Each structure stands twice: as structure tokens, then as C-alpha cells.
Homo-oligomer: A and B are copies of this chain.
Amino acid sequence: MQPAIGVFDSGIGGLTVLRAIRHLFPAARLVYLGDTARVPYGTKSPTTVLRYAHQAATFLLGRKVDVLVVACNTASAVALDELASELPIPVVGVIEPGAQAAVQASVTRRIGVIGTEGTIQSGAYERSIRLLAPDAAVSTVACPLFVPITEAGWADHQVAHLSAAEYLAPLQAAGIDTLVLGCTHYPLLQSTLAKCLGPKVGLVDSALATARTLHPYVGVVSGGGGSAEFFVTDAPQRFCRIGGGFLGMELGNVQQVVLEN
């Protein structure tokens, strides 16, 4: 039987994680839930985010998934431990895999992290990196323009290049050799960021790092034949329109659902 993987995000960004999972596990059955009615989570209190994460997990368990991926940085920072201890299936977040990949990739131990204001303020990546490499010098920058830039389809626009130059200047000054893309929207900016930083700085895509951690739970399933279902809590048309660019293909059928309040 095909393994089934549930992927949950506050909105549309988690589709880059789904894309990476699909790439590594083409035979898997994937179920995506975007809580588009209540996005963004970054400005909400931990109690509220925890409640939303529980509702999402309950919904995905109802769709018979074998493993749950919390493809949302805020929910990963706030709710992962509690979900992992309470749910009957394995739970994977995006922060630890990204931190681990960065520590493995960095030679100088000067690591940069970019993310939304909420993620950067939470200090979650910093803590996770320091746990693995206490001597690491971690520099962080919040990049609030990157989400609307990617959602507008402007990832290669001059606006994106100029914003990247402005945001990344302090990280270049800090001499980082590795940059963690600490937001699920940012893989779309990979080539723009790489151009800005030059070949000496490696980029860590949290989406890909997260997908790789699924190997123990999903195993190796040869061949394709996988499937993907999409659920959102609001505005399926917008999700369809913008999501194609995030997933790298058409989304097909997107259903709107109500989560218990």
C-alpha cells in the first residue's frame, strides 16, 4: 500500500515542502491542508497557534495519513513537541531539519537565517542550530517583503533582487558561509538569493531538508503513481492561482473545508 503523508501549513508556502516530498517519494499519497482563513500564524499567540495545529492534525488524521509534516515555521516552533507526544503517528517539523542541514553544510560555523518577522523573533532556528553546534555564530534577518514578492510572482523581478541585496547585506558583513531559508516561501527565491550572495555561500532549503527526514517513516517506494489532495479553509481560487508557481505544476482540485473553532 502507498504510504500517506499529511502536510499542514498556515497557507500556501508549505506547497514547496509538498513539492520536495513529491520529488523524493513519487509513489506516496499526499494530503495538504492550508489554513488560509487564519493565515498568518506568526502574529498570533502560542495558545491560539497550538489550538489551530491540533485542529489541522485532527483533520489530517481523519484522512488516514501515516505521518504528519508541520510545514509551517510558526506552528513548528510552537506546537511540534506537543503534537509529537499526543498524536498516534510520527510528526516532523521544518525547523530542526533546516538547522541540521545548515550545521552539516557550514565550514566556518557562521550561519545566517532569514525568515518572517514571527519566525526570526521566536529565535527557534537560532536555538536549534546552537543545540547542534554551540560554537556557531548565528546571524538572523527578518525579510517581510519576501512573502508578498513570491506570491506576486516577482521572484526574479528587480524588486526581489534589490530587496535581497538590502536584507542580506548584514549577513554578508557577518561573513556567513551558509544561509538557511527559514520560510517555506523562500525556495522560490533561491536563484535570486544565490546571485546576490555569490558562489561562496551555500543555501539550505528547509523544504528539501524536511522531505529527507521522512525516509525512516515512508521507506523506499519505487515507481510513481502517487497522488495529491488539497484542502484549504478559505479562498480556494487564490490558492489555486498562486499555488501553481509554488508546486511547479497545476494543483487540480482544491476543496474548501471548515475546521472546528
Interface residues of A (CB under 8 A from B): 36-37, 39, 43-45, 144-145, 147-149, 151-152, 154, 157-159, 162-163, 166, 234-235
Say yes or no: A148 contacts B144, CB within 8 Å.
Answer: yes
Residues of chain B contacted by A162 (CB below 8 angstroms): 157-159, 162
Determine the distance from Cα of A144 to Cα of B154 in the docked complex, in whole angstroms: 12
Residue of B nearest to A142 (CB): B152
Contact of A145 among B36, B37, B148, B166 (CB under 8 A): B148
Oligomer: number of copies: 2
Determine the distance from Cα of A149 to Cα of B154 in the docked complex, in whole angstroms: 15
A169 → B minimal CB distance (Å) = 13
Contact of A234 among B43, B159, B235 (CB under 8 A): B43
A-B contact pairs, 17 of them (CB 8 A): A36-B43, A37-B43, A37-B45, A43-B235, A144-B148, A144-B152, A145-B145, A145-B148, A145-B152, A145-B154, A145-B159, A148-B148, A157-B162, A158-B162, A159-B159, A159-B163, A162-B162
A120 → B minimal CB distance (Å) = 13
Determine the distance from Cα of A234 to Cα of B39 in the docked complex, in whole angstroms: 16
Residues of chain B contacted by A159 (CB below 8 angstroms): 145, 159, 162-163, 166
Residue of B nearest to A44 (CB): B37
Residue of B nearest to A146 (CB): B148
Residue of B nearest to A167 (CB): B152
